[in-house]
Structure 1
C-alpha cells in the first residue's frame, strides 16, 4: 500500500511537471507494458524527459544529438534504439527476448518510445530490467506499469533495484 502511494505521488508529479517547459528537479520515466494476446505481442511504451535523454546520449556517444529539435542529427533515432536495447531487457518464461523498436513521438518535453516483443505463448513469468538514465542520474526513478494476463502491477525501479519480476 505504501509503495502504491509513493508510485501515485511520483506519477502525479511527472504528469504535473511534464506540462511545463521549464527545468525539472527530479528524474523519472514512465514505462507501460501490455500483453496484447489478440496481436500476439507485448507492447512497451516508455516516456523519458528529452533533456535528460539528450545528456545521456551525448555523454555515451560523445556528440550532440539534439533530440526532438530542428537540429537533431541524422541517425539520432538509431542511437535511441541502441541505447534502449542496452538499458531495457525483457525475459519471458525465463528466456531473453529482444524487442523491436517501432518509433518515437514527442509530447512537450517528453520523448515517447514505442517498442514491441512478438510473443504468442502463455506467459508464466515476465521479467523486465529498466536502467534508463541511471548511469548519469543516480536519483533516476523508472516507473513501470504492467498489464499481463489481465493482471495489473506497478513497480518503482531505481539505480539499485532496476528489475521487476512477475509470476503467473
Structure 2
C-alpha cells in the first residue's frame, strides 16, 4: 500500500502519521546535531567551540589576578595601542587609577586579541576593531580623562606609565 486511500476509508491515515512522525524525529535529530557542532570557523581553527578570547570581569577577579592582568594590559597599551598617535594623547598616564578606563581598555584589548591572535579570526574581526572599536574607545577615553588633563599630564618626552602601573600592581598585591 502506498499510503493513498483508494476506497475512501481511513485505513491509510495511521501509515501517513507514522511516516511523518519518523521524518519529524529525523529532523529533530539533525537540528540537535547542528546546534551542538562547531561552526565552520571553529572547525578550521582546530580549537574547541568558545575558544575565542573572553573579556575580563574585573570585579570578580582576585587581587593577585588583577595585578597580573593589569601588567599584561599595560604592556599592550604601551606596545600596541600607543602605536596610534591619538591614543597616547587621549589616555593619560593616570589611567591605571581609573577602573572605568581599565574596563574600556581591557575590552579593547580583548577585541584586539580576537582580531589578531585568535585562530578563528577573520579579516572582518580586524576591520571591525580598526574601523569601529579602536577609534570609538579612544574617543570615549579622551572624554573620560579630560578632567585629569589639567592635573597629572606631563608635557614633553614620551611617557612610560610603568611606575604608575607598578604602584597599582603593588597595592593590589597587598590587598
The TM-score range, normalised by the shorter chain, is under 0.3
| Larger relative contact order (Cα-Cα within 8 Å, sequence gap ≥ 6) | 2
Point out the structure with the larger helix share.
Answer: 2
TM-score (norm 1): 0.24
Larger Rg: 2
Structure 2 length normalisation: TM-score? 0.23
